[in-house]
Amino acid sequence: MTDRQAPVALIDVCVRALARDTDRAEVEDILRSEQVRRSGESATIPLDFGDDPRDRQDRCHFAKPDAGPGRGGTLGEWIRQSAVLPQWGRVLYRIAREAGGPILEIGTGSATSTAYLATGLRRADDATIVTSLEPNAVLASHALDVLAEAAIANVEIRSGSQEALGETLARSVAPRVVHIDSDHRAGPLLDLIEAITASAGPLIICLDDIRWSPGMEAVWDHLTRTLDTIDFGLWGIAATGDHPVRTYQSQTPAYLHGTTATLIGQRPTEA
């Protein structure tokens, strides 16, 4: 884990995390995190996101045509289609293990990403926890069950919306790392990111679905102009810093190997 007081740019911490070789500990933690995914894939619990238009722009790409606008099917079906991909899970794990916590997650979902973050944090011998916020009561309850089943205890699940609790949690947690996979509308997401960066100290933001929609692309474009970033194509990492903004491109790590992040641009930080 990196010393929180060390005068090192956080983007360098991220680049170092990606480049590390996979050791036995990482393989063990990946398997434990994937156990969380498998625990939910066969679940037949009904999962309904309702008619909220925010959900139709976010999680309900999965909704069945005959289920009504914005509605879903079973928990297992949703997890198989929407849970974090293993490649991004490994990035989250490496960032948590290298940078340390506290960690704030907005959008628990299947809890697979939560598991990757929590196992990385525990492997770093970091005594802080992952605080994960989930607005859907079924998903929040499922997360508690599967994380307990996988013996992942360094997590607190909070139930509520990002509008109601996001900024409050940012102030109380003071995170070192934030993972966001929730409301994909540009306005609310930019407001949330602004609140988090204003409330926390040096910060790494891991953002899912950066090219999901024009709104998400606008959010990512804003981050590339104001923070250091690593672009993975589907996902992105942004990190605060007081130097000219650096932009990297990278592939996600192969299962047993690290990966490089290539510097492709540098420009003065925008106000």
The Cα 112–Cα 157 span in angstroms is 13
**pLDDT for 122 beyond 60:** yes
33: domain range?
Answer: 10-38+83-267
138 in a domain, yes or no?
Answer: yes
**pLDDT for 42 beyond 50:** yes
What are the strands, taking DSSP E only, across the chain?
103-106, 130-134, 155-159, 177-180, 204-207, 228-231, 236-239, 245-250, 261-267
106 in a domain, yes or no?
Answer: yes
Q: Mean pLDDT across the stretch 19-41?
A: 95
The Cα 253–Cα 260 span in angstroms is 8
The percent helix, strand, coil of the chain (3-state, each to 5) is 45, 15, 40
The Cα 218–Cα 224 span in angstroms is 10
Q: How many domains does the chain have?
A: 1
pLDDT at 199: 79
50 in a domain, yes or no?
Answer: no
Cis peptide before 53 (omega within 30 of 0): no
Condensed to tens digits (0 to 9), the pLDDT of residues 169-219 reads 888 999 999 999 988 889 999 999 998 888 778 999 999 999 988 999 999
5 in a domain, yes or no?
Answer: no
77 in a domain, yes or no?
Answer: no
Beta carbons within 10 angstroms of residue 234's beta carbon: 14
Condensed to tens digits (0 to 9), the pLDDT of residues 79-100 reads 998 899 999 999 999 999 999 9
64 in a domain, yes or no?
Answer: no
Condensed to tens digits (0 to 9), the pLDDT of residues 134-145 reads 999 999 999 999
227 in a domain, yes or no?
Answer: yes
CATH of the domain at 181: 3.40.50.150
62 in a domain, yes or no?
Answer: no
